[in-house]
Structure 1
Amino acid sequence: MRAARWWLFLRCLALSGAAVEAFEPVSTAVVAGMGAAALGRKLYQYLYETCDQTWVSFNSSGFEEALQTKLFGQHVASRVVLKAVTGFMNNTNPKKPLVLSLHGWTGTGKNFVSQLIAESIYRQGMSSGFVHLFTATAHFPHEMNLELYKTQLQQWIKGNVTNCPRSMFIFDEMDKMHPGLIDSIKPYLDFYETLDGVSYRQAIFIFLSNAGGENIVQVALDFWTRGRDREEIELKHLETALSLSVFNNKNSGFWHTSLIDKNLVDFFVPFLPLEYKHVVQCGLAEMAAKGRTPDREVVDLMAHDLNYFPKEERVFSMQGCKIISSRLDFYM
């Protein structure tokens, strides 16, 4: 138990009648009005995560700042996610859960954005008991067990939303998900007020996928080839083609899914391929995160040795930022 928690524990004991003089003065009226049960609840809520504002509360300004300062090269994704999450969290009576589908090549920031969303809502971030991460290859590996997975997934979501309406579910590797599995949770993403007495309207569902990455890369290449600025790319240039390619991709967990057919995905969020300058930004940020003074010379050396395309012009990174942490250890 951390020192701060021990301090609170001892202070609560003091409030119950032992050695009050050793701690800061507290209103006797407050102490007198606080029974043992209430005191126990206060202590429990401090020490253990509960589904209330003590542990679950949206930090909109912190979320916006994190997207601006920590996510590099993703102006489209940053804008869409900020508006979608902020609007949903500020809506006291949403009509359906928030459903985001994040698409792009590995290393472009999809998992990182999921982490930023979790950290802006839950005090424990990704470690929160109300944040649930599923990966296709780890949790749903065998196609022969598809019907069992559907039942387990439905039970898991229902149980956790019953426990905390403000639950978050992240599905990684959607491009490796068995087609048909994700349709099993379609009722929970729909516009129902309740299902079997449970409301899912405050929950958040996030799907992560490499599917559609080729379409996104092609748009980025077209803009670059025509000499247009990367910042000119907007969601409208990508979203329709992205949703159609995912829907018609037989190797995707979204293949012919009713989630797309019934327009239950609120936003298809494209993550653009990163350029050299973005890799450098990731490297400098990673050095700082490791407690080192950011060194541009070291980061440039590391970034230069990565692979880029087109081969001659070396414009877009093939690995993005995902391998930077391990690569930097070698160059430092």
Structure 2
Amino acid sequence: MKAAHFYLLLHVFSTASVLVNAFDPITTTVVVSVGAALGRTIYDYFHERCDPKWISFNVTGLEVDLENKLFGQHIASRIILKAVNGFMSNVNPKKPLVLSLHGWTGTGKNFVSQLIAENIYKEGMDSSFVHVFTSELHFPHPSQLDTYKSQLQQWIKGNVSNCERSMFIFDEMDKMHPGLIDSIKPYLDYYDKLDGVSYRKAIFIFLSNAGGESIIQTALDFWKAGREREEIELRDLETLLSLSVFNNKKSGLWHTSLIDKNLVDFFVPFLPLEYRHVVQCALAEMEARGLRPDQSVADQVARDCVYFPKSERVFSVKGCKTIESKLDYYT
């Protein structure tokens, strides 16, 4: 809300309150009712609600953000845009959208989740309809697994009951106790309603480092063969990735029925980043801070990162994860 509009509403509300004392009891009742209505109007104007004013998908915004802010992820960008646009454009989806994002640290998984939220919810990641679960924070004790399952079911049911367009992000899936995520399988399946609640318009995003080794190996194989990374396609990775995650005992998706029953719509691979992508990250971070992008500083930041294989220094070990702290040092 613009400041002028805000103060105008406050002025009108205050005026109505003052007028209460100037009228007889009958008229006062009318004025108080008007004041209450204005109060509700002000409350509704500020308070996030589950309606198109607060939840409206901006496909152009997501496309531009993926193109200009996410670097080195041609596969992920294409899948995310098509998957989210197709889902949000469908007035009657048959099931929730379930995305499983995989890749090494610093490659953009959390960032993509943020971009999706920012282009669906007016409040972005601060929206009361976006819920983030972190394994080590929310589910730390293996002995409490049954309790966590019950709590997770209740949390999801309660939030979707409040808003069908809820988004749930599960970070650190590779650290989640195997079997926990299966507790929400019914909510991800092809059901019209469960106990009177429809989950079909919700979005579930799983973030994991699991499967990262398979992705890195494929990228290395392409590089060793002298092929461009842009030649890597989803079919080169998707089956290998799903099998790797399903059979990995350290993965929260180990032997999960979500994979077995094909409830994950897309396994999205995030490729390891090269030197040029780290430079792009540094330049973008400068711009985000309101600084003039400096190529020499960006190059210095990128050179200061660790790469592998050690002899060839092809891929950044931490992707763009440490860019912010390194810029604090160089700027």
Identify whether the pair has TM-score above 0.5, normalized to the shorter chain.
Answer: yes
Name the CA distance, whole Å, in 1 between partners of 2:16 and 2:188.
47
Matching of residues 111-260 of structure 1 within 5 Å? 111-260=110-259
RMSD (Å) for aligned C-alpha atoms: 2.0
Residue by residue over 1:185-216, the C-alpha shift from the partner in whole angstroms, topping out at 9 and shown as x without a partner, is 00000000000000000000000000000000
Match of 2:7 in 1: 7
* Contact 1:12/1:43 (<8 A) preserved: no
Identity %: 71
Q: Does 2:328 correspond to 1:326? A: no
Name the CA distance, whole Å, in 2 between partners of 1:151 and 1:126.
25
* Contact 1:276/1:317 (<8 A) preserved: yes
Residue by residue over 1:279-316, the C-alpha shift from the partner in whole angstroms, topping out at 9 and shown as x without a partner, is 00000011111221111111111110111111121111
Residue by residue over 1:95-143, the C-alpha shift from the partner in whole angstroms, topping out at 9 and shown as x without a partner, is 0000000000000000000000000000100000000000000000000
Match of 1:84 in 2: 83
Residue by residue over 1:209-264, the C-alpha shift from the partner in whole angstroms, topping out at 9 and shown as x without a partner, is 00000000011001111011111111110000000000000011000000000000
Matching of residues 15-94 of structure 1 within 5 Å? 39-94=38-93
- SS in structure 2 at match of 1:214: helix
**What TM-score do the two structures reach when normalised by structure 1?**
0.92
- SS in structure 2 at match of 1:121: coil
Name the CA distance, whole Å, in 1 between partners of 2:8 and 2:89.
32
Name the CA distance, whole Å, in 1 between partners of 2:253 and 2:139.
15
Match of 2:312 in 1: 313
Name the CA distance, whole Å, in 2 between partners of 1:15 and 1:195.
49
Give ranges in structure 2 of 5+ residues lacking alignment.
20-32
Q: Does 2:280 correspond to 1:281? A: yes
Shift of 1:16: 6.4
Q: Which amino acid aligns with 2:145?
A: L
Q: Could you tell which deviates more after superposition, 3-12 or 305-314?
A: 3-12
Match of 1:23 in 2: none
* Contact 2:13/2:35 (<8 A) preserved: no
Name the CA distance, whole Å, in 2 between partners of 1:223 and 1:18.
75
Structure 1's consecutive aligned runs of 4 or more residues displaced over 6 angstroms after TM superposition are 14-19, 34-37
- CA change 1:152–1:17 in 2 (3 A) is closer
Give ranges in structure 1 of 5+ residues lacking alignment.
20-33
Name the CA distance, whole Å, in 2 between partners of 1:183 and 1:331.
46
* Contact 1:131/1:167 (<8 A) preserved: yes
Shift of 1:4: 5.3
Q: How many residues align?
A: 318
Q: Which amino acid aligns with 1:295?
A: D
Name the CA distance, whole Å, in 1 between partners of 2:65 and 2:49.
25
Residue by residue over 1:153-210, the C-alpha shift from the partner in whole angstroms, topping out at 9 and shown as x without a partner, is 0000000000000000000000000000000000000000000000000000000000
Name the CA distance, whole Å, in 2 between partners of 1:79 and 1:12.
49
- CA change 1:331–1:261 in 2 (3 A) is same
- SS in structure 2 at match of 1:141: coil
Name the CA distance, whole Å, in 2 between partners of 1:4 and 1:136.
44
Match of 2:29 in 1: none
